[in-house]
Amino acid sequence: MGSHTPLRCPICDGELTHTAIRDIGGVTADLIWQVHAGECPVHGWFQAEVISRPPREIFPVTRPFGAARRMVVDGEELFSFSTVWNDVPALIKFSKVDPLDPQYWRVRRQAR
């Protein structure tokens, strides 16, 4: 544990502790497939899956590489947090980007 990851707490944007990265393996020769996990001291464990692109969602989990867990944030039940990667223009989505670029790992703010 203690791997460097751009994953941050999707609730408070705090740096995560006890971080870990698990290589799932190559899908093909030029695609990386990883799961990044880390613990927020206040909000618990989170993880995201990277398949040669920044993650589309960050999931609250029971433990590193564990099952998704339910969270209630501001009275709203959530099982995942969408990232800004979902909102980037198609021109960027289909170009070569660094999947570990922190700007794409930021959480999309929930509409209220």
Higher pLDDT, 30 or 89: 89
**Banded model confidence at residue 95, pLDDT cuts 50, 70, 90:** very high
Please enumerate in sequence order all residues whose Cβ is within 8 A of that of 96, keeping only pairs 6 or more positions apart, or say none: none
Answer whether residue 111 shows pLDDT above 60: no
Average pLDDT over residues 23-48: 86
Q: Are 38 and 5 in contact (CB under 8 A)?
A: yes
Separation between Cα atoms, residue 14 and residue 40, nearest integer Å = 7
Q: Note the helical H segments in the chain.
A: 90-93
Separation between Cα atoms, residue 47 and residue 79, nearest integer Å = 12
What are the pLDDT digits (tens) for 54-91? 999 999 999 999 999 999 888 889 899 999 999 999 99
Separation between Cα atoms, residue 14 and residue 7, nearest integer Å = 9
Q: Are 13 and 59 in contact (CB under 8 A)?
A: no
Answer whether residue 1 shows pLDDT above 70: no
